A and B are shown apart, each in its own frame.
Chain A
Amino acid sequence: MKNNSLEKARAKSTAIAATVFLAPALLLILIYMIYPIFDTFRTSVYKWNGISADKIFVGMENWKTLISDQVFWMSFGHNIVVMIFSILLQIPIGLLLATFLDATGKKTNIFKIIWFFPYLMSSVAIAFLFNYILSTNDGLFTGIATFINGKRTIIDLLGKNPQALFAVIGVMAWQFTPFYMVYFIAGYSNIDASLYEAAVIDGCTRKDYLFKIAIPLLGPIFKTACTMSLIGSLKYFDMVFNMTQGGPARGTELMATYMYRLSFSEFNMGYGSCVAAGMFILITFIALLFNRIFVVKEDY
Chain B
Amino acid sequence: MSKKLLAAVLATAMISSLAVVNAGAEEAKNIPELTTEPLTITLWDIATEDPTKAIQEDAVARFMADYPNITVNQVHQQNDNYKQQLIVAMAAQEAPDMYIHWGGGPMAEYYKSGFVNDITDLYNTYDHPDFIDAAVAQSTYDGKILAIPFGGLSGCDIFYNKTIFEEVGVEVPETITQLEEVCDKLLEAGYVPFSLANGSKWTGSMYYMYLVARHSGNAEFDAAYEQTGSFTSDAFIYAGEKIQDWVKKGYFNDGFNSLITDNGEDRALMYNNPCAMMLHGSWQARSFNTDNPEWYTENIGVFRFPEDEEAKAAGVPQNVEIGTAIGNGFSFNCWKEDGSVDEDKLNACYVLATQYYNDDIYNERQLNENSTTPSIKGYETAITDPVMVTITDVFFNASNVQLWYDQYLPASVTEVHKNCMTELFGLEKTPQEIGEEHDAAMQAALAE
Q: Do A and B bind each other?
A: yes
- A interface list, Cβ under 8 A from B: 49-53, 128, 131-132, 134-138, 142, 154-161, 164, 244-245, 247-250, 261, 264-269
The smallest C-beta distance from A121 to any residue of chain B, in angstroms, reads 18
The smallest C-beta distance from A84 to any residue of chain B, in angstroms, reads 24
Residues of chain A with a CB closer than 8 A to B411's CB:
265-267
Q: Is the CB of A247 within 8 A of B263?
A: no
Q: Is the CB of B268 within 8 A of A261?
A: no
The smallest C-beta distance from A58 to any residue of chain B, in angstroms, reads 12
Q: Which 5 A-B residue pairings sit nearest by Cβ, starting from the closest?
A: A136-B255, A159-B258, A159-B257, A158-B258, A52-B113
Instruction: Identify whether the interface residues of A are mostly helix, strand, loop, or mixed.
Output: loop
The smallest C-beta distance from A217 to any residue of chain B, in angstroms, reads 44
Q: Is the CB of A264 within 8 A of B84?
A: yes
Q: Is the CB of A261 within 8 A of B109?
A: no
Partner of A248, one of B83, B113, B199: B199
Q: Which of B140-148, B365-373, B420-428 forms part of the interface with chain A? A: B420-428
The smallest C-beta distance from B102 to any residue of chain A, in angstroms, reads 13
Residues of chain A with a CB closer than 8 A to B113's CB:
49, 51-53
Q: How many Å lie between the Cα of A247 and that of B144 in the bound state?
A: 37
Residues of chain A with a CB closer than 8 A to B112's CB:
52
Interface residues on B, range: 35 or more
Q: Does B87 contact A (CB under 8 A)?
A: yes
Residues of chain B with a CB closer than 8 A to A244's CB:
199
26 CB-based A-B contacts, threshold 8 Å: A50-B90, A51-B90, A51-B91, A51-B109, A51-B113, A135-B265, A136-B258, A137-B273, A154-B254, A156-B255, A158-B257, A158-B258, A159-B258, A160-B426, A247-B201, A248-B422, A249-B419, A249-B423, A249-B426, A249-B428, A249-B429, A264-B87, A265-B83, A266-B414, A267-B106, A267-B412
Q: Is the CB of B412 within 8 A of A248?
A: no
Q: How many Å lie between the Cα of A249 and that of B425 in the bound state?
A: 10
Q: Is the CB of A50 within 8 A of B258?
A: no
Known A50-B91, A52-B112, A52-B113; judge A137-B422 contact (CB<8 A).
Answer: no
* CB-based nearest A residue for B110: A51
Q: How many Å lie between the Cα of A176 and that of B263 in the bound state?
A: 25
Most chain B CB within 10 A, of A128, A266, A269, is at A266
Partner of A50, one of B87, B198, B422: B87
* CB-based nearest A residue for B263: A131
Residues of chain B with a CB closer than 8 A to A50's CB:
87, 90-91
